[in-house]
Amino acid sequence: MHTPALRALGRYRALPEMVGWPALLIALGARAPFAMVPLGAMTALTASSGSVATGGLATGIISVSAALVSPLIGRWADRRGQRLVLLLLTPASAFALAALYAVAHLRGPLPALVPACVAVGATTLPIGSFTRARWVGITRTPHELATAFSYESMADELTFVLGPALVGVAASAATPDAPLLIAIALVLLATLPFATSAPGTPPPDADAPDRSRTPRPAIAQVLAAAAPALIVMIGIGCLFGSTQAATTARAEALGAPGSAGLVYALMGIGSAVMSLFVVVLPEAFRLPARILTGGLGISLLISLVARQEGLWATGLGLTAVGAFVGPTMVTAFSLAERLTPRGGVSVAMTSMSASVTVGVSLGSAVGGALAAAHGPAAAYGMGAVTGAVIAIAPLVAWALHRPSGGVPGRHRTQVG
């Protein structure tokens, strides 16, 4: 006899039935280059310039450029369809990465570095956001959509762990700028097939057969509607950035700086595994309540990590933190989809990914300063604060939508 949990996990069988295994594998591969680029750029530019500050500047410019342009790419996809957008941006992305590689390999001056980094960031393809937008148009029930979002979060976390690891292996086995060459190859080999498989037109809106008379919501309108979910994602990004800074500082203080990446990756592994189990949560456990629970769990557990002294205990604690991060991310994407006005799903999904990038930059900067001034426990403390902010965000969503109980999404009728 199958338990309810096993039946819920069995829903994952429907995903390859809807799109096919090749599409799932292509989408997974298409994520890889963009998981490699931030650390790859830092590694290449630090080695070529001899300055960690230059490598950090390159990564910062790429991240900020991607965050600013992503919603515009999403709006473009909402209006013209993903296929056109991807077919134009994919070769542009490969060219931008080639320019950045040339700057690093030839030890180009700063005036050449800045535009190359801006171009890389501006042409960063939000693969995870686009796949989520596709699932919104493909899935038929809230259960199927929740299952798809759980799978997508697992895929994001998997590439989040494996991408930097591939950078480390390539840089160690070949040259510091080799990861950028691998990223270019993956863009052409994996992202181009992903582009050709994209829908040629925007998905039709439910209850709106005549799309020509259904204006797309303004970007500002989409951002305002999805604000609670965006706050959650900014908080998760801050958690990532501050935790990375804190773990790096703790590993250095313990005389094992090379272990920082492996210890930090345990949070991603815990997050990826638990993302898959979101489907077993009962419907009575509403989205705001799930985020509230996740935020409080993150805040409590990261506070316990701050009190640890060894790397083994830190790693175990971060794995436990990840167990709350993954389901919270899945739920945040579901909340964004429910809050987003019709015709703005690509803007919302790309904005969610951009919010993580903004949060990581903020968390890295503030967390790094706290770790330098007060030690790693202070940087972990920032993660505890962001967990509390995450917990508050769904209460805002509930307050905003309580009068009607409804939201303009496609599959569902209420937030909480």
Q: Are 246 and 415 in contact (CB under 8 A)?
A: no
Q: Which of 139, 169, 165 is nearest to 152 (CA)?
A: 139
Q: What is the pLDDT along the chain (416 residues), one digit of tens a residue?
A: 456 666 667 778 888 888 888 888 888 888 888 778 877 887 788 788 877 678 778 878 888 898 889 888 988 888 888 888 999 999 999 999 999 999 988 888 888 899 999 999 999 888 888 888 888 888 888 778 888 888 887 888 778 777 766 776 777 777 888 889 998 998 988 888 888 877 655 555 443 444 444 567 888 888 888 889 999 999 998 998 888 888 888 888 888 876 777 788 888 888 888 888 888 888 788 888 899 999 999 999 999 999 998 989 999 999 999 999 989 988 998 888 888 888 888 888 888 888 888 888 788 888 888 888 898 999 999 999 999 999 988 776 666 655 443 344 444 434 44
CATH class of 216-416: mainly alpha
- Distance between CA atoms of 90 and 217, rounded to whole angstroms? 26
pTM: 0.77
Compute CA 17 distance to the chain's CA centroid, rounded to the nearest angstrom: 25
Q: Where are the domains of the chain?
A: 20-204, 216-416
Domain 20-204 belongs to what topology? Growth Hormone; Chain: A; (1.20.1250)
Q: pLDDT per residue over 121-171, tens digit each?
A: 999 888 888 888 888 888 888 778 888 888 887 888 778 777 766 776 777
Q: Are 59 and 38 in contact (CB under 8 A)?
A: yes
The amino acid sitting at 77 is A
Do 20-204 and 216-416 have matching folds? yes
Q: pLDDT per residue over 57-98, tens digit each?
A: 887 888 889 888 988 898 888 888 888 899 999 999 999 999
In angstroms, the Cα distances linking 309 to 102, 252, 257 are 43, 12, 15
Provide the 3-class DSSP secondary structure of residue 321. Answer: helix
